[in-house]
Amino acid sequence: MSSLAAQRRHPASIVLVLLLGLVITGGLYALLAPSSAGAAVGSSSDLKSGKSLFLANCATCHGVNADGRENNPSLVGVGAAAVDFQVSSGRMPLSNPSVQAARNSSNVQFTSTQIKQLAEYVASLGAGPAIPSSKYTSLGGNIAKGGELFRVNCAMCHNFAGSGGALTRGKYAPNLMDVSGKQMYEAMLTGPQSMPVFNDTNLSPQDKKDVIAYLKNVKNEPSQGGHTLGNLGPVTEGMFAWTIGIGLLIGAAVWLGRKAA
Amino acid sequence: MTSDAHTGTGRPADALRGDDETSTAPKKKGGGAVGGVANWMDERTGGAKGIRYLMNKVFPDHWSFMLGEVAMYSLIILLITGTFLTFWYVPSMGETIYHGSYTPLQGQQMSEAYKSTVDISMDVRGGLLIRQIHHWAALLFLVAIMLHMFRVFFTGAFRKPREINWVIGVLLFMLAMVEGFAGYSLPDDLLSGTGIRAAQGFMLSIPVIGSYVAYFVFGGAFPGSEIIPRLFTVHVLLLPAIIMGLFAAHMILLIVHKHTQFPGPGRSDHNVVGFKLMPVYTAKAGGFFFIVFGITALISGLVTINPIWMYGPYEPTMVTAGAQPDWYMGFADGALRLSPGWWEFTLLGHTFSLNVMIGAILLIPVIFTALGVYPFLEAWITGDKREHHLLDRPRNAPTRTAIGMGFIAFYFVLFVASGNDIMAITLHLSINDITHVMQASIFILPPLVFWITKRLCMSLQRSDRDLVLHGKESGRLIRTAEGRFFEAHTPLSEHDRWRLVSYETHRPIAAPTEADSNGVGRRQIAKDKMRARLSHFYFNDRIEAITPAELAAAHHDGQAFESIESAEDGDRLEIDSDEFDHHMHGGAEELSSGHAYSHPQDQEPS
């Protein structure tokens, strides 16, 4: 100890301390930084199949080198998560170019293996968010916390129960009831179309897991009050009151009015 | 029926009331134990006279007269269920942590108001059902009020002597809206918090005094801790008391005025044809209360309304898509959504948010003032100072009906506009396009609906006229001895005809002259001119009611026919059929079903 203390004025000590600081910082960063930025490198055969799938199905719009054409985005750096989200939800390949690619689960063109190959190929073009680990996309998050996070971050577009809401000029925030946990996570991570990005510094992986748990609970919990009318708020309630509600009452009034004394 | 029916018993239609109970013989005292108790009560309160008066009140039968009843019963349901809810509701914005039985909110920070509402929904036995009955009954209450108002408006039931009752009704409608909004705000969930936030924004948009108003109402900056307790007092004490007071006045005036009735045989401005309150209407109305309660409870048991546990607690940082007020406030929300942004401007360093103020604040008093003033306006234009207890059929007042429908179109556009975002997602349309279409519709639709309605009413009047003068086509073709063909028409029975001919035709008043016969300029000439112009607008296009002479002329086929009391002069014309045995109607024949044909010598065209 005393010898170390004696050496502290040594000219090399400053360099050593700096080095030590850098190593610790770098080590901590490597441990704690969001891991999704790394481009997953798959096996060469997967990459090859992915490339041929890409050339056959995606290159028309996104370009042979996936660097985009005219109004179509480049896919370099979008990451595997974006590809998996867009293709597994049936949005891509785009069947109907309009203001927004619509979720279309009956239009999923590829098997999960093919989607994985495609995602690996696109991920190999540039670093981007990777497909999330199933640890964060399965159930088991904190529903109450997820609900609060959802109301703060998501409800203004997707509505309080994830029923969806309108955006400008025909765009919309879709209904979330049939979305898989993995796709929810990927959507938060990549911010498709009008959606903002909720990366791991906005919402930690655990937060995302909580949000997923909340939405799955909304879908699965029994409807305590009876039929939900789509969970769309007072508009559908007003419509119900004006049609079926008052209709039944007027029907009863007409019946009573006709009834002989 | 022949014309000698007039001489004996009065009008021929009186015969139709031959079965009416007219016995006025005093009844024997009796009634057993009940009668004894009633007598005991009467000797101490003197209530029997009043109760007898009430029990003998006669009410006419028509389903549309029961819309007001639906509102009344909904109000009773609201009072009963509301009282239940106050047992558990905590009107406080104090912060607390939820540890109730609803897992998705476990450990969440929330206001005591919200927590107690979740407790009512999740932990209080029957609480959710009662909450839903309360909310559904509130929506149906306002629907029923509005439909009741339509009925009163379109049948002219607001005319003298019922103008004050109309104004009371308008006030009740407005107070019920405010009452509903206060109740909607109490749970302090995400939706109602958004609503209160919006209301605070509306207050702020009032020029000059807006910020003072908002600070006054909220007791400081938003949200503060005052607004929920204050709204609670307004919702359970202040407004219900005023509503009940006005409702009582509404009912007393109804009893004083007697109920209106649709025109029909034996019905006049001097009688009411129907059944007595006791026993018929006591049974009908009492039964109807349970029907209304039952249907409301059924709906509440089957359909969710305002799932506050899903909305979650309100925090000022949060908002949900699809945040709308309940339907009765929708028109103001829609007006806000349709207001263009350029209505906001800066003047002398102050911002004037008229884009918010006009739709959200100004529109409500403007609409309700227009509603309240209408009976007086129409009375001024027609100059009609008589009492009316017989209703107009809507078609027989084409301009009024058209004004009403035009107003409904205006209201409807605003109402629909408040759901523009829901329409956009459910119909896959652009919210911008929807809004632009609505902005155009608010100007185009009301005049269009006005015009279409007026034309429809007049067509219906023409068709009635045709029916009365020519009867129904019987489908029976007749060949005369000369070989001519015509279709026999069956005349209406007088019972059916009465309904179609007993209305008055207003005619436009003449434009006032600038000076009287002495050349003296008249005061108020501008006012009189305006009145003449409006009168012209109301009554220039009209289908005249059928006069007895016209009717007589139409029935030229040798049948006996009725004279009709003319609405114009009350004369009774006795017309000899032989005077009118020529053809006036282009060869169309009116024959009773008993006649194969008549007067074959008359088949030449006139």
Per-residue tokens: B470: 């020519």
B244 touches chain A (CB under 8 A): no
Exposed / middle / buried, residue B437 (Cβ in 10 Å: 0-12, 13-18, 19+): middle
Rounded CA-CA distance B498/B468 in Å is 9
Rounded CA-CA distance B53/A200 in Å is 78
Cβ neighbors of A66 (< 8 A, separation 6 or more) are A54, A58, A59, A74, A75, A76, A122, A125
A24-83 residues touching B, CB cutoff 8 A: none
B19 touches chain A (CB under 8 A): no
Rounded CA-CA distance B101/B118 in Å is 9
- All residue ranges of chain A with pLDDT < 70 are 1-4, 33-42, 260-261
Min mean pLDDT across A238-252, B176-190, B490-504, B551-565 is at B551-565
Residue B20 pLDDT greater than 80, yes or no: no
Cβ neighbors of B89 (< 8 A, separation 6 or more) are B113, B116, B117, B120, B186, B232
Among the listed residues A218, A217, A221, A220, the one whose alpha carbon sits nearest the alpha carbon of residue A140: A217
Confirm whether A44-125 and A134-220 share one CATH topology. Answer: yes
Residue B586: its pLDDT value, please?
A: 34
Residue B573: its pLDDT value, please?
A: 41
B421 with A158: Cβ contact below 8 A: no
- Chain B positions in Cβ-Cβ contact with residue A253 (cut-off 8 Å): 63-64, 66-67, 69-70, 288
**What's the mean pLDDT in B350-363?**
89
Per-residue tokens: A62: 């996104």
Exposed / middle / buried, residue A40 (Cβ in 10 Å: 0-12, 13-18, 19+): middle
* Chain segment B551-592, per-residue pLDDT in tens: 887 765 434 333 333 333 434 344 443 333 333 333 344 444
**Three-state DSSP state, A225:** coil
**What's the mean pLDDT in B26-41?**
75
Among the listed residues B431, B411, B408, the one whose alpha carbon sits nearest the alpha carbon of residue B332: B411
Rounded CA-CA distance A200/A192 in Å is 16
Q: At what angle do helices A143-153 and A205-220 cross, to 10 degrees?
A: 100
Residue A14: its pLDDT value, please?
A: 84
Among the listed residues B557, B68, B43, the one whose alpha carbon sits nearest the alpha carbon of residue A253: B68
Sign of torsion over alpha carbons B424, B427, B433, B438: negative
Residue A123 near residue A115, CB atoms below 8 Å: no
Task: Spell out the alpha helix ranges (H) of B46-126.
Answer: 48-55, 67-86, 112-122
- Residue A191 backbone zone (phi > 0: left; psi -120 to 50: alpha; other: beta): left
B121 with A164: Cβ contact below 8 A: no
Residue A260: its pLDDT value, please?
A: 60
B325 touches chain A (CB under 8 A): yes
- CATH code, residues A134-220: 1.10.760.10
Roughly how many angstroms between the first and final C-alpha of chain A, as a whole number? 110
The verdict on whether omega for the bond into residue A196 sits within 30 degrees of 0, i.e. cis, is no
Residue B179: its pLDDT value, please?
A: 95
Rounded CA-CA distance B245/B582 in Å is 63
Residue B495 pLDDT greater than 50, yes or no: yes
Task: Spell out the alpha helix ranges (H) of chain A.
Answer: 2-6, 11-32, 44-57, 59-62, 79-88, 112-125, 134-137, 143-153, 155-158, 181-190, 205-220, 234-240, 246-258
Sign of torsion over alpha carbons A160, A162, A168, A169: negative
A192-231 residues touching B, CB cutoff 8 A: 214, 217-218, 221, 223-229, 231
Query: Which of B284, B421, B432 is closest, CB to CB, to A256?
Result: B284
Residue A155 near residue B317, CB atoms below 8 Å: no
Q: At what angle do helices B363-382 and B525-539 cross, to 10 degrees?
A: 90
Which own/partner contact pairs does B489-492 have at CB distance under 8 Å and 24+ positions apart? B489/B588, B489/B589, B489/B590, B489/B591, B490/B590, B490/B591, B490/B592, B490/B593, B491/B555, B491/B559, B491/B561, B491/B590, B491/B591, B491/B592, B492/B467, B492/B468
Tell me how close the Cα of A260 comes to any Cα of chain B, in angstroms: 10
A252 touches chain B (CB under 8 A): yes
Tell me how close the Cα of B233 comes to any Cα of chain A, in angstroms: 24
Per-residue tokens: B592: 């009773």
- All structural domains of chain B, each given as residue ranges with its CATH number in brackets, are 48-258+279-373 (1.20.810.10), 459-514+522-602 (no CATH)
A240 touches chain B (CB under 8 A): yes
Domain definitions of chain A by residue range: 44-125, 134-220
* Chain segment B373-421, per-residue pLDDT in tens: 999 999 999 888 889 998 999 999 999 999 999 999 999 999 999 999 9
- Chain A positions in Cβ-Cβ contact with residue B302 (cut-off 8 Å): 226-227
Query: Which of A231, A244, A257 is closest, CB to CB, to B63?
Result: A257
Residue B340: its pLDDT value, please?
A: 92
Strand partners, A41: none
Strand partners, B601: none
The continuous run of DSSP H or E covering B363 comes out as helix B363-382
Q: At what angle do helices B431-470 and B330-338 cross, to 10 degrees?
A: 120
Torsion angle (degrees, nearest 10) of CA B431, B433, B438, B443: 150
Does A56 or B133 have the greater pLDDT score?
A: B133
Cβ neighbors of B226 (< 8 A, separation 6 or more) are B93, B218, B219, B220
Sign of torsion over alpha carbons B370, B376, B381, B382: positive
Rounded CA-CA distance B435/B442 in Å is 11
**What's the mean pLDDT in B261-265?**
84
Does B514 or B87 have the greater pLDDT score?
A: B87
Rounded CA-CA distance B459/B395 in Å is 9
The superfamily in CATH containing domain A44-125 is Cytochrome c-like domain (1.10.760.10)
Rounded CA-CA distance B132/B306 in Å is 8
**Between the CA of residue A184 and those of A82, A117, A147, A162, A192, what are the distances in Å?**
11, 21, 14, 11, 11
A14 touches chain B (CB under 8 A): no
Tell me how close the Cα of B109 comes to any Cα of chain A, in angstroms: 10
- Residue B126 backbone zone (phi > 0: left; psi -120 to 50: alpha; other: beta): left
Rounded CA-CA distance B313/B294 in Å is 32
Cβ neighbors of A58 (< 8 A, separation 6 or more) are A66, A75, A92, A93, A118
Tell me how close the Cα of A86 comes to any Cα of chain B, in angstroms: 20
Among the listed residues B215, B184, B447, the one whose alpha carbon sits nearest the alpha carbon of residue B330: B184
B153-182 residues touching A, CB cutoff 8 A: none
A224 with B304: Cβ contact below 8 A: yes
Query: Which of B65, B304, B422 is closest, CB to CB, to A226?
Result: B304
**What's the mean pLDDT in B254-278?**
85
Does A76 or B74 have the greater pLDDT score?
A: B74
